[in-house]
Amino acid sequence: MARIVVALGGNALVRPGQPPTWEEAVRQVRATVGPLAELVADGHELIVTHGNGPQVGALLRQNELAEREVPPRPMHVLVAETQGQVGFLISEELMAALATRRLPRTVATVISRVEVARRDPAFRKPTKPVGRYYTDSEARLLRKRESWELAYDGARGGWRRLVPSPKPVAWLEEGAVKRILASRGEEAPILIVGGGGGVPVVSRGRGIYEGVDAVVDKDRTAALIASRLGADRLAIVTDVPAVAVGFRKPWERWLGEVRLDELRSHLARGEFADGSMAPKVEAAIAFVSSGGKGAVICHIPNLSRALEGGAGTRLVPD
């Protein structure tokens, strides 16, 4: 039996081009949890983490529409809200999938905080786009009224808010989760942790923390969690079948089994886009470099095959 951390992308709940309704989210998650249930059926110890990009974007829009009647909530509070929202949905559907396989298990969500450094350079240069696209006039108003950083996206013809994306330093619920996992056995719950990269907090000293408006990359947090829990494997689920070099170019090549030095070399040459595949590759490298037995990057239908060595990109130690 292996301990496997599976990191689901936020788009596992809302697919591009589909209506962002709750009913659509249920359909998407229902299709996603089957491969997770199969890992449990095969005897593996499963820990799930997930993204929250579309969900935070929806809450930001709700903030805007309701601000005359309901005071807007800070970004870190929205991350906590989406941990509960997405965790609830995954737990409901995963428990149902396990029940149909006659594997009744509890699936529990742990609202997770991630400490970041107060002086992380990301706070001086926000780079993570969040929320909807704004017109030129809206962008000017928001810069003046909210002091937001915004960037223009020529492909979409609009401006998006940029927030800091600091690196995770520590996972504050680590000890509690380790105690839960130590119970093991058939009654031990399957845990959903670190959703949306975790709620970003900074230390005020003496064990006291406060939230900050930022978004921690969920793949970086997944690598940290997998390492701290001593996981055997890290599986990063995305919307493409594997990692490619020369992506969408005539010389495109999909990577199967790859070793650390080779993947580091591709990353250093700029083969992977920032904000897309690069963070996933960096997370896989970080996990295997810290002692993990291997990491896979794949899409959800091929999860089991990827972990068995037959699909996806499989990163192995040198």
286 contact partners, CB below 8 Å, separation of at least 6:
220, 223, 224, 227
Out of 51, 52, 128, 294, pick the active-site residue.
128
Q: Quick check: is 131 catalytic?
A: no
CB 256 within 8 A of CB 310: no
Strand order from edge to edge, sheet including 128-134: 128-134, 158-163, 149-153
Q: Quick check: is 154 catalytic?
A: no
Out of 9, 131, 218, 294, pick the active-site residue.
218
d(CA 297, CA 284): 8
d(CA 287, CA 193): 17
Out of 10, 195, 198, 292, pick the active-site residue.
10
Out of 194, 196, 198, 280, pick the active-site residue.
280
CB 237 within 8 A of CB 295: no
Q: Which two tokens stand for residue 164?
A: 């800091």
Q: Quick check: is 128 catalytic?
A: yes
Q: Where are the alpha helices (DSSP H) in the chain?
A: 22-41, 53-66, 75-100, 136-146, 174-182, 218-228, 260-268, 277-289, 303-307
Q: Quick check: is 302 catalytic?
A: no
Please report, for residues 201, 214, 215, 314, the alpha-carbon distance to residue 114 in angstroms, rounded to integers and kept in the order given: 6, 11, 10, 27
Residues labelled as active-site residues: 10-11, 128, 218, 280
